Amino acid sequence: MDDITADIALSERPLIVCDVDDVVLQFVGPFQSFLQDHGYRLLPRSFRLHGNIVSAINEQPVDHADVTGLIAGFFDSQERWQVPIAGAAEALQMLSSDADVVFLTAMPTRYFAQRRRLLDSLGFAFPLIATEDAKGPLVARLHASREHKIAFVDDMVHNLHSVGQHKSDCLLVHLPPISEIHRFAPETPDTARRAGDWSEASTLIRDHFGC
Ligand SMILES: [Mg+2]
């Protein structure tokens, strides 16, 4: 199997691995606009999309395969919908003067080109890895035997757990967006630090790196 981390060139500096959806690009809000445009809406009753998307006309739930299709359609047309998270571009630009930044997005690789173009157009010109595999093993491979400090930023608790299990010295930053569906999301684990916005996330990362 090809190692998708092999093409990422890292310098001799600390490393920030950063999620994309709902961390640097808004996801839930734009996805709700996309659903509305297609005659559906999100009815948050738990922290998942499948089972919580309904017809806008009669609130009938959309079946599993159709929800998967809607998510794929959204990723395919993401350049029309997604906008940046406040403060993300500025914060990462500042941090990148002292650290490498790599985006790690949980998205099918067939939408890589769309995401790359969108990130570039918004000033997020950092390397991008797209995968549907667990993030922990991939982050461990990416950092390998490097002795520099490392931080990981994500809105999803299961990704923080995965990276923590495979890279125990990694600073785990939980940066959840404010949205109705995130009220059902798991709490920040004890192993991670919660940040309310990119300013707080930057401070946590700089304290960990000592820069
Ligand atoms: Mg995310």
The CA distance from 119 to 103, in Å, is 10
The pLDDT value recorded for residue 3 is 78
20 contacts 119 by C-beta, under 8 angstroms: yes
The pLDDT value recorded for residue 155 is 97
Beta strands in 10-146 (DSSP E): 15-18, 40-42, 53-55, 100-106, 128-131
What's the gap in Å between 67 CA and the centre of ligand 1?
18
The CA distance from 106 to 132, in Å, is 5
Domains (ranges, CATH) in the chain? Answer: 15-26+83-209 (3.40.50.1000), 28-81 (no CATH)
Closest CA to 107 of 130, 73, 76: 130
What's the gap in Å between 202 CA and the centre of ligand 1?
17
130 contacts 75 by C-beta, under 8 angstroms: no
- Counting every residue written for the chain, the total comes to 211
The pLDDT value recorded for residue 2 is 67
pLDDT in tens, the chain (211 residues): 567 888 899 999 999 999 999 999 999 999 999 999 999 999 999 999 999 999 999 999 999 999 999 999 999 999 999 999 999 999 999 999 999 999 999 999 999 999 999 999 999 999 999 999 999 999 999 998 889 999 999 999 999 999 999 999 999 999 999 899 999 999 999 999 999 999 999 999 999 999 8
The CA distance from 125 to 207, in Å, is 24
What's the gap in Å between 49 CA and the centre of ligand 1?
13
The two beta strands, 53-55 and 40-42, are antiparallel
What's the gap in Å between 130 CA and the centre of ligand 1?
12
What's the gap in Å between 21 CA and the centre of ligand 1?
4
